[in-house]
Amino acid sequence: MPDTAESATRVETAKLIRAYYDAFNAGNSEAMLSMLADDVIHDVNQGERRQGKEKFRAFSARMAHNYSEQLKDITVMVSKDGLRASAEFNVHGIYKNSEEGLPPAAGQKYVLPAGTFFAIRGGKITRVTTYYNLTDWMLQVSA
C-alpha cells in the first residue's frame, strides 16, 4: 500500500485497537478509558446501550469484579479510511462472582469466541459494540 494519509490513518487505528486490547488483557481500565471519546457509545449484544466514559468505567468495574478474562488470538481489521475497525478473538475467562439473572458463579472456566466493532473519530474510539453467544457461555458455566 502506498504511504498516504489514508494508509497512515489505517495504521494508527490498528495501533489504537491493539493498544485497547493490550490494556484490557493487562486489566488496565484507565488506559482503556484514555482511548475512548468522552461520548463513547458502548453496546453489548445482550445488554443496554451505555453512553459516556463514566458508564463504561462502571461497566468495566462490574466486569472485573465478576469475571477474570484474557483475550487470545486477536485479529484486528481496519477499514480503508481508518474510521471503522473490528476485532475477532477468543475470550478465556473465569466466572468469579454471580451476576443477577445469570447462573451462580463458582469459578467456572469458559472459552468463548467473540467480536467487536469500533468507530473512530480524532484518534479516539467513539463506539464499542461487542457480540458473543450468551447461550454458549451459559451452557459452559452451567455444566
Q: Which amino acid is at 105?
A: A
- For the entire predicted model, the pTM comes to 0.92
Report strand pairing: 36-44 vs 124-132: parallel
Three cell numbers, residue 66 = 465478576
**Per-residue buried b or exposed e for 83-121, using 16+ beta carbons within 10 Å of the residue's own CB:** eebebebebebebeeeeeeebeeeebebebebebebbbe
Chain segment 76-135, per-residue pLDDT in tens? 999 999 999 999 999 999 999 999 989 999 999 999 999 999 999 999 999 999 999 999
Going along the chain from its start, the domains and CATH numbers come out as 5-142 (3.10.450.50)
β-sheet bridge partners, residue 108: 95
State the Cα–Cα distance between residues 18 and 77, nearest whole angstrom: 10
